[in-house]
Structure 1
């Protein structure tokens, strides 16, 4: 993140800183899957037919609402038996709904097979029937010409884990600045995995390409990252401007064919949220099936260097409900603010803005000079606890590191990020801290975790791989996140 001003001992940013159903009837008749694609919503509906074209026959639709690419298996039992495999993503390989036609009157049970790592949090049918969540079964009674839809809502058993995306790695003013900052041999071990170093020592680190964007998604998915949290900049700037460059990462992500492997949201400052044009663009993106949701609500982080106003948060909520994307889960997000007074202010601001929870972009001790990583991890944990004791929900932020010394040695044009720094974590220390963040969130009932960061290489916080491979670090991240699914 780019920073200049300093308040409450913490630097604050000013500048640049998401099948066809298969089955058999009781007599062994294979159901035929027909994929009908609704391009506007990227919704795939499968139609399975069992029996003849009886006008008096009933129809039963099964829908999965998981906002995930995981395959869920469903079985229908009763006068006729059917099976289907559904998922809820942008891929057309499998549908998210299947409709069984030609059904005779009688009692039917729809059961979701157990999916390791997933809970069934809700299942209802539009005839008013609620499912037995323990058995993952909804039972309906169909009469002649009945049309009933049963919707199943699975959710991951652990909180979702997201990583902040600060996409400075492009051919633009900010991108060239961070290439300069990391050009010194002392810091080249931090260079992104996609960086190149010429024989003369010149550094090129550009992620604004479709192949790199797709590989970033795959690498994050393999580590167990559920969603990216992209920093939001002005969306209407000219090509080549600072803001346009900083938004390229999101643009390339949204255009990637594998984007549904990792969901996304944004981190937007209060001033941009107040802008009707920017808010409208965010709401448009919120309709994307890849926008991450928690308990069916679109997740969004707001705040940073300008606190959100309640009127703007309410306007966001009202517009989201009106467009059918539901009531957003709004997280007041600040930078630093690890002191007791800073946390009290954060909680008061969240309450004033009408936010649902609080979180941090980053957490650090302003006076640390080469402190051990466990001190940084402990500071983060103390911040979660202090905020929770004040009675507000918390989305805990885990710190993958904090060491902005490259910006001190070779400052970018927006300035350095302060003199405070911590020693890099060992793989075991990093894995332990990520794991405790997930466990803390699960115990507190928090729906998500935020990690600083995916790619803040020059500021000292990253989960993404580096040009010089560090397999032990990657294994520790993967074990901490995937091992808790």
Structure 2
């Protein structure tokens, strides 16, 4: 894409090449009989004055974009075209097909693809600039041997197979393709500053001769049009003695283009490997990324709720306003609040979650008539859920009800009923995913038969209603290094263990990278226990608003100070951490459910969020768009990988 600065430089160079045609020596001789300084931008006043007053005088020629000269010249056909490489690919085949051998030769001048086909199975490898024929043959041989083809040998740049196999090769270079997105006409002033009218006339003729004939050869002609002379203006008014100025105006069209690398199609029909084929039916499509979901804590939807009021109080200090939910408002005194959630507002939030790349929301479970369940109710009634599913995080501390016939509370039975819904998140061939938060012995005292019997109650009820055994994950509120909940998970009959969040505070501020390290160490540690696990990615942890303004709903340790926190994460770093989790899931044998959890969608008070947040100019969606873009790109690459990287 040609930039304005490149056009200015090209104009200045064309003038300089004309006035100083021989620039190879240490001393350059002017072709017009006196020296001229040629540059982009404006001359420094003192230097210009000294040059003009010198004997003999020194002229100046400057090049600048003309203000207010931009005119839209966009055409609307955006066809792709190829940009041919300047030289040959360099890598060739001595013989494309010779029965039982194929030999490569040369050195690759560009990136590309090379490969061999043995009995209709293709083995492609990526070619990098500078790769030799021998290296390419070795790459292909290694790929073939990794797949288990034992009849192939490599000698130098030659691949050989034993009868009755046949082999042939292909090579091709990557080509840059481009298309024009918009085009503008830009004006440029070539300004002449001379110590006399006579010298100005000579300099003007030199500029005209240089630019009227100049092809501006350094610029791509598909992006830059012809240079047209459009005006001449003498500017001598109110200038100092010995200063004669003339502006020559030129117009040129400049295109703004989009480019990308196009990989050659060497085998338009044929098998690539055991999982991929082009033009051949019956082959499997590789799985997309493992699904990831985000935890929801829904104290942001009804200001009549005392918990919403506490959250607003904690965050309406000026330094924490950026952590308020995106629909928050401030009154004239700076007090924060938010409107009651509506179907429209939750539908908008669903759209944000889908654009963020989430597969599901994990709702903290509260009683149905509690306004902390309002967002869940509006999610369930939405017609816009689309691909966004949901699951529940049961709080075992509120499961007991001594007044009920079976001893279990309605909130637990509501969770069980929800698992029959079509949009409920399932894993491992249809098993409803259910998270259970750890609780203290005191909190579980009222449960008949304890937590183990309660989980059995859940399994039996869900299995009876759905025909599927729920996949129950026992969550702790701390990192494995601080509390190993895997034994407790096994004792209560859970299928897997995990963590709601994994901060490891040190008594001093820590960078977000330290929180990432703590979370990813937690994944590895849980994998090493040998008990099935689900990983949790952390978007942040910073409880300083609650330390500064303590709230009843958030009881904190008296030892917790405002020095115990992680610094705010940048959106790209959060995206990288989440993508690391998907990579971990793809390679882990200890996470059979192959699903990831994110802390959190909207834990604004504790400092972990993806959801849009408050700003004076409207909701800040930076994290949504950045994470969504990373997941979208990685999903596309997973389903439609570039040919050079297929394994």
Equivalent of 2:463 in 321, 333, 338: 321
Match of 2:384 in 1: 258
Give the secondary structure class of the aligned counterpart of 2:380.
helix
- CA shift, 1:368, in A, is 4.2
Q: How far off is 1:214 after superposition?
A: 0.9
Partner of 2:427: 294
Q: Does residue 1:330 correspond to 2:487, yes or no?
A: no
Higher Cα Rg, which structure: 2
Bigger relative contact order (CA 8 A; separation at least 6):
1
Deviates more, 1:380-389 or 1:444-453: 444-453
- 1:406 maps to 545
Secondary structure at 2:294 match in 1: strand
Shift of 1:203: 1.0
Which deviates further from its counterpart, 287-296 or 297-306?
Answer: 297-306
Residue 422 of structure 2 aligns to a residue in which SS?
A: coil
Counterparts of residues 135-150 of structure 1 (less than 5 Å): 135=283
1:467 lines up with 2:635 in the alignment: no
Residues 313-462 of structure 1 mapped to structure 2, 5 A cutoff: 313-339=455-481, 342-343=483-484, 346-417=485-556, 418-419=560-561, 420-445=564-589, 446=591, 447-462=594-609
Structure-to-structure mapping, 1:71-86, within 5 angstroms: none
Which runs of no fewer than 5 residues in structure 1 stay unpaired?
1-118, 120-132, 137-153, 238-243
Residue of structure 2 in register with 1:176 after alignment = 309
> Which TM-score applies when normalising by structure 2?
0.48
Change (3 A) 1:165 1:186: same
Per-residue deviation, residues 276-318 of structure 1 (Å, max 9, x unmatched): 5333211211111111111211001002335772222122111
Is contact 1:228–1:262 with CA below 8 Å preserved after alignment?
yes
Change (3 A) 1:473 1:250: closer
1:254 shift after superposition: 0.9
* Cα deviation, residue 470, structure 1: 4.4
Residue 247 (structure 1) aligned to one of 373, 394, 402: 373
Structure 1 residues 475 and 259: alpha-carbon distance in aligned structure 2, compared to 1, 3 A threshold: closer
CA, structure 1 residues 325+176, in 2 after alignment: closer, same or farther (shift >3 Å)?
A: farther
Select 1:268's aligned residue among 388, 394, 408.
Answer: 394
Q: CA deviation at 1:442?
A: 1.7
Q: How does 1:102-113 map to 2 (within 5 A)?
A: none
Q: Is the 8 A contact 1:194 1:207 kept in 2?
A: no
Q: Deviations over 1:420-465 (max 9, x none)?
A: 3100112222111111111111211532111000001111000011
8 A contact 1:298–1:325 mirrored in 2 = no
Return the alpha-carbon distance in structure 2 between the equivalents of residues 162 and 454 of structure 1. 9
Report the aligned-residue RMSD.
2.5
User: Which of 351, 355, 364 in structure 2 is aligned with 1:222?
Assistant: 355
Count of aligned residue pairs for this structure pair: 329
Q: Assess, with a 3 A threshold, how the Cα gap between structure 1 residues 430 and 277 changes in structure 2: closer, same or farther.
A: same
Aligned-residue offset at 1:272: 3.5
The TM-score normalised by the length of structure 1 is 0.64
Structure 1 stretches of at least 4 aligned residues deviating more than 3 Å after TM superposition: 133-136, 271-274, 415-419, 469-475
